[in-house]
């Protein structure tokens, strides 16, 4: 049971825009920044979004983050088959003094 709650799956067609949600609480996303990672099969997670909305250098602007109260969201526009991956949200949780993650969302581009 993950501390942050994500839908297990999401799907979209090429070119479409998809949004993945992540629900937390007042001890994590409510007072700390949200983070998003992309994980391709057999590889380590890759940071897509930090501090709710910031993109590390090299991450396309098709990926965007937002936050509202105790939830954060990742939007992916202009979907391509290369976006098929697992997506994880994360945040620092003050109640456990550690990083917590969502259970992951498997994105399928059909």
Q: Which residues are at the interface with other proteins (CB under 8 A)?
A: 2, 33, 35, 37, 44-47, 50-51, 54, 56, 88, 90, 92, 96-104
Residue 110 beta carbon to other proteins: minimum distance, rounded to whole angstroms:
24
Question: Smallest distance, Å, CB 37 to other proteins?
Answer: 8
CB nearer other proteins, residue 35 or residue 109: 35
Q: How many CB atoms lie within 10 A of CB 104?
A: 21
Q: Which lies closer to other proteins via its Cβ, residue 79 or residue 85?
A: 85
Element (H or E) spanning 88, and its range? Answer: strand 85-93
Supply 15's token pair: 């070119």
42-81 burial code (b ≥16 CB/10 A, e <16): eeebeebbbebeebeeebeeebbbebeebbbbbebbebee
Residue 79 or 91 having the CB closest to other proteins? 91
**Minimum separation from the CB atom of position 14 to other proteins (A):** 28
Residue whose CB is less far from other proteins, 76 or 87: 87
Q: What minimum distance in Å lies between the beta carbon of 62 and other proteins?
A: 19
* C-alpha–C-alpha distance, residues 72 and 70, integer Å: 7
């Amino acid at each position: 049971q993950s501390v942050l709650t994500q839908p297990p799956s999401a799907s979209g067609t090429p070119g479409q825009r998809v949004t993945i949600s992540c629900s937390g609480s007042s001890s994590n996303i409510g007072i700390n920044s949200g983070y998003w990672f992309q994980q391709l099969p057999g590889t380590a997670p890759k940071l897509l979004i930090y501090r709710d909305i910031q993109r590390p250098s090299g991450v396309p602007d098709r990926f965007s983050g937002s936050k509202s109260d105790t939830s954060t969201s990742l939007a992916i526009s202009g979907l391509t088959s290369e976006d098929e991956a697992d997506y994880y949200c994360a945040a620092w949780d003050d109640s456990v003094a550690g990083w917590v993650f969502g259970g992951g969302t498997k994105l399928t581009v059909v």
